[in-house]
């Protein structure tokens, strides 16, 4: 991290390298947030809250009572596939997902 600080304070002679480092850091952060979110949703109480509050699932598919066990058996996989489709690039979106869907915030208050 200290090397990144030195690179950033070195001036504009390394703009390409600075941009590459920045995009790499953002990519790592997105992957981390996605992995943590998906892991958290696997907890039964959080999973239930997510399924109950996630807009797509509220409108969701209709299924017969005889299909109930099949739907439940595939629920973890269905949720994980849906979450993998989401982008975790936007901090506001990620914060909203954690607050509304899981009733927690994963991020400290960010101030500028």
d(CA 99, CA 10) in angstroms, rounded, equals 38
pTM reported for the whole predicted model: 0.66
pLDDT in tens, 9-19: 766 677 888 88
Supply the pLDDT for residue 103.
64
What are the start-end ranges of the E strands in the chain? Answer: none
Tokens of 21: 């480092």
Q: Of 79, 100, 75, which Cα lies nearest the Cα of 34?
A: 79
């Amino acid at each position: 991290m200290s090397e990144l600080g030195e690179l950033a304070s070195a001036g504009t002679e390394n703009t390409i390298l600075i941009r590459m480092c920045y995009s790499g850091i953002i990519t790592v952060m997105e992957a981390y947030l996605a992995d943590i979110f998906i892991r958290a949703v696997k907890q039964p109480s959080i999973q239930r809250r997510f399924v109950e509050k996630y807009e797509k699932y509220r409108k969701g598919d209709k299924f017969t009572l005889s299909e109930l066990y099949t739907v439940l058996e595939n629920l973890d996989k269905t949720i994980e596939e849906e979450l993998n489709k989401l982008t975790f690039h936007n901090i506001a979106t990620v914060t909203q997902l954690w607050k509304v869907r899981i009733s927690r915030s994963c991020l400290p208050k960010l101030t500028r």
